[in-house]
A and B are shown apart, each in its own frame.
Chain A
């Protein structure tokens, strides 16, 4: 016997359970709808403000990054050029070269 059989205990239990009266009021409790509606609009406003400020902040950050890169371009390139020179004067590198 399987649970789909009407004689199965499960089938008889569910048939009886369906006859159980529905308990509890189905009307919204006092103030529930007002609270939920207010909360929904508040959250939406906070989310949209956050979204707007985040996008603006991202734009400003990108702009600042570009400006600082442009302003320091010559300094960065000179440091890179110096780095190449330093590599040849590296005492450790010289020692290794001597050992070989």
Chain B
């Protein structure tokens, strides 16, 4: 069976600009995996991932005439996705308090383990760690959260985060510093309270 041809983004964009609905559908299908990965990583509480993805695609079509081709089209769409997620995170006025009592048995065990010994987390506890990290991230301000998540979880560089969010590199560094200070405070507090 012959290999599938790579998707021709510039041709699809040209057709979309000429109001070809079939091309718009193909473009959405092509970009959906990229958008949904960003949405799932930064999904705010109580927001359905499909609704958020739809909002991102609608913004993409509204602004498609502004795309000049300075960056690859998927990068441009990623930026729309990240900024839309930030807007939704900012809209969540209240952040839930982090309490030992709200953690599942597995999450509490992992947190207890990382705070009481210096060994790496067991590979079997990756899912619990992932949940725990997201609950801790929920304690941060939306902008700080976005920076620390991209930096520590997705291992992006400062320059990449700057390109994705549109914030200057100094601002990204300041937000990372502020987020880490808050996390440090949070861990100190959790250690003081201990697991009941």
Interface of A is mostly: helix
What is the interface of chain B, defined by CB distance below 8 A to chain A? 19, 21-22, 24-26, 28-29, 32-33, 36-37, 40, 50, 53-54, 57-58, 61-62, 110-111, 114-115, 118, 120-123, 125-127, 129-130, 132-133, 136, 152-153, 155, 180, 183-184, 187
Are B129 and A37 closer than 8 Å at their CB atoms?
no
CA distance A20 to B115 in the complex (A): 20
Give the distance to chain B from A42, nearest Cβ to Cβ, in Å: 10
A-B contact sample (19 more), CB < 8 A, given A16-B130, A32-B53, A36-B57: A9-B115, A9-B187, A12-B120, A16-B123, A17-B129, A19-B126, A19-B129, A21-B126, A32-B28, A33-B25, A33-B32, A36-B58, A37-B22, A37-B28, A39-B58, A40-B24, A40-B58, A40-B61, A43-B58
Are A36 and B184 closer than 8 Å at their CB atoms?
no
Given contacts A32-B32, A41-B21, contact A15 B121 (CB under 8 A): yes
Q: Which residues of A contact B57 (CB under 8 A)?
A: 36, 40
Which of A15, A17, A29, A44 gathers most chain B CB within 10 Å? A17
A-B contact pairs, 14 of them (CB 8 A): A3-B187, A7-B118, A10-B152, A12-B121, A16-B125, A17-B130, A17-B133, A27-B32, A32-B28, A33-B25, A35-B54, A37-B28, A38-B21, A39-B54
Are A27 and B25 closer than 8 Å at their CB atoms?
no
Please provide the 7 A-B residue pairs with the shortest distance between their CB atoms, ordered closest to farther. A16-B121, A16-B129, A37-B24, A40-B61, A20-B130, A28-B32, A33-B28
Return the contact of A41 from the options B19, B36, B121 (Cβ within 8 A): B19
A24 interface residue per 8 A CB criterion: yes
